[in-house]
Structure 1
């Protein structure tokens, strides 16, 4: 096998000649080599042309997408005893995660105060965001070797609905949009586009941090390969699968069976205060996300790269975006382009 202008040419050799003259043998070798090389060249140049055509399509479709890997303020929690660090991605089981990490960080005090893994953000917790030995700055993480890192990640459309119901509809924290989903998604897009052009963690808003693409979190542009990414969902089986993955991580880091059982049981059967997945409001929002073309257009633009990078199920995306993701994956696309 040899190279030809970046493509692969296959040469036949070491063929056994059976009852064939040397001249006929040479002609057969030449014809076979020519035929194979011709097919390879057709494939290679056809493939290259596909790439060129898809670059055009990619540019047309993604020119106004929210870009991936923009750094935004993240919450990192550490349990030094077990060498575990977790990144809390908002609206991705973040309430449960901080309580799990708090238990692992200071088990004795957590238990003495009779805390539950389903305490809410409004509760007085053992662990404080002001405690840099628990809520650790990113710069401090870099000096700690051999940490096991994990994060919960959630389907982007589903995560957006949870954000919309909690921050916008219930708390009226989104541009006075109330429950106007179109108003919310348009303003989210505009705000994230503005932040994308001038990223500054100190200026990010509560809405930005809750609605930002997953790839903006956890310094993923530098640390993605270091994380165990646990996909979560709203139904029982999806939650059970996520907790099973977590318990394997905990076991491998020396967490006791007693603590693991507590974490597993309370994670599966508890419910946090602002959980939204069983409400009629959620069903209404889900229906609009499924049917409203304006809302869907903005959601695709905001979260397209999350689906590509984290390999979520894309069956509920519009077909043109499904195809674009498939082609980018085929050509080994990353945020810098084709590789």
Structure 2
């Protein structure tokens, strides 16, 4: 995208997986170049209809503005995962912890459904487990994956957990309009002056998915697993994950444990069954002010990660459809 008036695009299209059951090398490369083409369309357009739609929405939050990410590694299996907040990050870190140090994890009778409040085998302060982006290149032939989640659904989880339950969003309390306005303002400010070291916890929880995992350079390297909270979507996601684990020679015993516990448990701060979730979903579905901000913040997530768009407003669905014709 642009920085100080200059256009920049996805880089580093190197393929790090030698084989994949889901995506061939040609498909990965084509997808990355297609996204570059869409980025160009955003600024220069082609048909007059696209230019008009584009010019009416220049206040979107841009994609690919790097924000501090959590990268977890299991060197034994050559697996690295990027934890995207409010996208099953609790489950992900527990899975990676198990793969990183199976013996200690099992000896302490840990569960994949432990919460952040539990004493943990793996620490965010352990640079051999929670590694900075600059150290990733020290490891060769890594298989990388990340859980990704529908952006509106992810926002609801963030709002309920961080804002409503923990009262951690400015002075908004449970005022969703206040929250979404301030989220947009804060992300716009960060977009104009990005500094990973100074990003706030709220920014990292609410930022578009594209801001995570250094996707500007690494998009083509990741297995992206869409995960939801109904049984069918969760089962599909865990099946994708177990396929990755099997390919990387994780034992059948560990794969069975990961599969079973991922499907049967939930963490204490999970919000998908909370009483307030129905009310939050209703407001997101019906409040035009909230919806306008959410579309502006997460539009490019829907475009780039190809999420279902049935619940978006017609104006934005039209814009997405126009651009997808060129993918």
Tell me the TM-score normalised to structure 1 length.
0.82
1:143 positional shift: 2.6
Equivalent-residue separation in structure 1 for 2:45 and 2:300 (angstroms): 24
Correspondent of 2:77 among 73, 77, 82: 82
Q: Distance in 1 between matches of 2:218 and 2:140?
A: 13
Equivalent of 2:124 in 126, 129, 151: 129
- Tell me how far apart the structure 2 counterparts of residues 107 and 323 of structure 1 sit (CA, whole Å): 48
Superposed CA deviations along residues 269-291 of structure 1, whole A, max 9, x for unmatched, are 01101011011200100000000
Correspondence 1:55 to 2:32: no
SS in 2 for 1:278: coil
Write the distance in 2 (CA, Å) between the matches of 1:255 and 1:331: 39
- The residue that corresponds to 1:213 in the other structure is 208
* Contact 2:45–2:54, Cα closer than 8 Å, also in 1: no
Query: Alpha-carbon deviation of 1:49?
Result: 9.9
Q: Does 1:229 align with 2:241?
A: no
Q: Tell me, which stretches of 5 or more residues in structure 1 are unaligned? A: 1-47, 333-339
2:35 corresponds in structure 1 to: none
Alpha-carbon distance in structure 2 between the residues aligned to 1:144 and 1:51: 45
- In the TM superposition, 1:7-156 aligns within 5 A as 51-61=47-57, 63-156=58-151
| Secondary structure in structure 2 of the residue aligned to 1:142 | helix
Q: In the alignment, which residue of structure 2 is the partner of 1:18?
A: none
Query: Which of 253, 265, 271 matches 1:270?
Result: 265
Q: Which residue of 2 aligns with 1:302?
A: 297
* Separation of aligned partners in 2, 1:254 and 1:136: 22
Secondary structure at the residue paired with 2:271?
coil
Separation (CA, whole Å) in 1 of partners of 2:138 and 2:318: 42
List structure 1 segments (4+ residues) > 2 angstroms apart after TM superposition. none
Instruction: Give the alignment's TM-score, normalised by structure 2.
Output: 0.85
Rounded Cα–Cα distance in structure 1 between residues aligned with 2:232 and 2:114: 23
Aligned to 1:11: none
Change in 2 beyond 3 A, CA 1:114/1:318: same
Give the Cα–Cα distance (whole angstroms) in 2 for the partners of residues 49 and 227 of structure 1.
29
The equivalent residue for 1:174 is 169
Equivalent position of 1:311 in the other structure:
306
Identify the structure with bigger relative contact order (alpha carbons < 8 Å, sequence gap 6+). 2
- Structure with larger Rg: 1
CA contact (8 A) 2:71 2:80 kept: yes
1:233-292 Cα offsets, whole Å, 9 max, x none, are: 111111111000000000000000000000011000011010110112001000000000
**CA-CA distance at 1:331 after TM superposition:** 2.5
Number of equivalenced pairs = 284
